[in-house]
Amino acid sequence: MLKLRHLAIISSVLLLQGYTPTLLSKDMDRLDYQACRTLVEEGEILSMSELMARVQALTSGRMLDTVLLSRDGRYVYEMEVAGNDGVIRTIYVDATTGSLLTR
């Protein structure tokens, strides 16, 4: 049941519209919910529960929106995070390792 909840969260987040593309995402393809689900099932990328735990550890903030991006076999999560200071930031996380990327 927990997996279905996370898949619902992934679906909701990935289908949200209106995010602001940034420098990194302009050169990458945006993947849909089904592609994300398949990649998680195949172990290619982190699940939403793993991602949420890592974001909390990296930013001490709360995830607002997430988009999975791809280019040349590399997967990156573009995330909007509300920090404890109230500032919303866009961060990039390697979807395979969970490490924070720079622009």
The tens digit of pLDDT for each residue in 62-102 reads: 888 889 999 888 899 888 888 888 889 888 889 999 888 86
Q: Which residue has the tokens 């990327």?
A: 101
Q: Which residue has the tokens 């550890």?
A: 57
> Taking CA 34 as the corner, what is the angle to CA 20 and CA 54, rounded to the nearest 5 degrees?
60
Mean pLDDT of 19-29: 55
Report the amino acid identity of residue 49. Answer: S
User: Where in the sequence is the domain holding 70, given as residue range(s)?
Assistant: 2-101
* CA–CA separation, 68 and 94 (whole Å): 10
Counted domains in the chain? 1
* CA–CA separation, 96 and 72 (whole Å): 14
pTM: 0.67
How sure is the predictor about 24, in pLDDT bands with cuts at 50, 70 and 90?
A: low
